[in-house]
Amino acid sequence: MVAFKLIVIMLVIAIGFFYVNTANWTPFVPNGFGGVMRGVSDVFFAYIGFDAISTTAEECKNPQRDLPRGMIYSLIICTVLYIVLALVLTGMVNYTHLDVGDFLAAAFHQRGLNWLSGIIALSAVIATTSVLLVFQLGQPRIWMSMSRDGLLPKRFSKLHPKYHTPGFSTIITGLIVGIPALFLDSDLVTDLTSIGTLFAFALVCGGILLLPRTEKEKGKFRVPYINGRYWVGLLMLIVAGIALHFNTDKCTDFLHSRSLKSADELVSSLNPAEFSSLASIVYKTNQTGISKDSLTNYLLKMDGDQYSSLARNLGISENEKFNIGWSIFADNITFWIFLLLSIVMTIASFIKRLSLIPVFGLLSCFYLITELGLTNWLRFIIWLIIGIVIYFTYGIKNSRLRANA
């Protein structure tokens, strides 16, 4: 199935390349850097398969050598394919036409390649099956390891007599994942998957920082140590400077706990005189009879920077331009937490000479988590509390580490 997916992807790239219109890449980043990072947070679940590889350590002949190579090579290959495929698709059709469930097939359908869009739609079904198999591969083995450590009942570590895999854990995983998937919204599922994966990656980076520094053994992989005493603080200052230079308005909004109203909110808040003034600016004419829906749709077609510049320079009150209040501050709480963590890690790196790579891995994961919003944080915290309850009611009492202490 993997070979089939790769063949289809290469076919899409090869044929789609000849239908690329470079005009569709203008503007190249229509929603700015913030839009890019929000998109990264939303689709981060696409990288969940790489950490699933690590759960198959017991099934590798030489895990110290094979697992790092497998993860790094597959990460490089997939990232290159993601980038090239994104360039081809956004070059074939305008990005606004890709906001559909089957965007690959839709892009080729819009260019008149109906025969290829059918093949892509069929391959998507097959590809989904293989992806689901990978997603279900890791969790049963994690539960198996936890069960062996005494953190879960022994039943979870029992191997199937024929296939020698954690059969019970696999069945329970399938039920826990499959049944809610029938009823939950897909956006909710992907956001929770992304925030869970990002948090797990952040924990791994934190764990590397706690590991004692040892000499590298031949044939074994170890994260390279780069003294971050000065580098972390320097790079944080550079990132902050870039953010302030290119996103001055958004930084100001953040400090004032406000957010620019969306097009429909802005149009709805205007009185007749202000509406006419905005319409004359947009259409460059004093024509009458323009409806609110027509003006709203026109504003929605603008890229993020154009709309922001237009809205901020309107001669109306701040309350009509911006959403202000507790809800905006609450949405920014996650970023305040990230800023606090950044300051703590910068100071800790200077004092304890922490390694640069895991520190920036930890901070980058937490930054992406902030992009998922407060609501997803609250959902994840509830899920985390459930896990903590299981640990303190069962795991801590039966832990092998505690028994051997």
Alpha helices in 61-166 (DSSP H): 63-92, 103-110, 114-148
pLDDT in tens, 101-129: 777 777 888 887 777 777 777 777 777 77
Q: How far does Cα 201 stand from its chain's mean position?
A: 12
Q: Helix or strand or coil: residue 313?
A: coil
Cβ contact 338:367 at 8 Å: yes
User: What pLDDT is stored for residue 286 in this prediction?
Assistant: 63
Longest CA span, the chain: 83
**What is the per-residue DSSP string for 169-200?**
HHHHHHHHHHHHHTTS-HHHHHHHHHHHHHHH
In angstroms, the CA 211 to CA 225 distance is 12
Identify which of 270, 350, 349, 352 has the alpha carbon closest to the alpha carbon of residue 311: 270
Cβ contact 334:370 at 8 Å: yes
Residue type, 277: S
In angstroms, the CA 236 to CA 360 distance is 10
- Measure Cα distances from 244 to 151, 251, 254, 342 in Å: 46, 7, 11, 16
Count of residues in the chain: 405
Cβ contact 322:258 at 8 Å: yes
User: What pLDDT is stored for residue 289 in this prediction?
Assistant: 67
User: What pLDDT is stored for residue 359 in this prediction?
Assistant: 94
User: What pLDDT is stored for residue 405 in this prediction?
Assistant: 59
Helices (H) and strands (E) in the chain, counts: 20, 2
In angstroms, the CA 12 to CA 283 distance is 39
User: What pLDDT is stored for residue 96 in this prediction?
Assistant: 80
For the CA atoms of 103, 105, 111, 115, what is the dihedral angle to 10 degrees? 180
In angstroms, the CA 13 to CA 89 distance is 9
Where the chain has pLDDT below 70, the residues are 1, 45, 49, 51-52, 214-217, 219, 285-289, 403-405
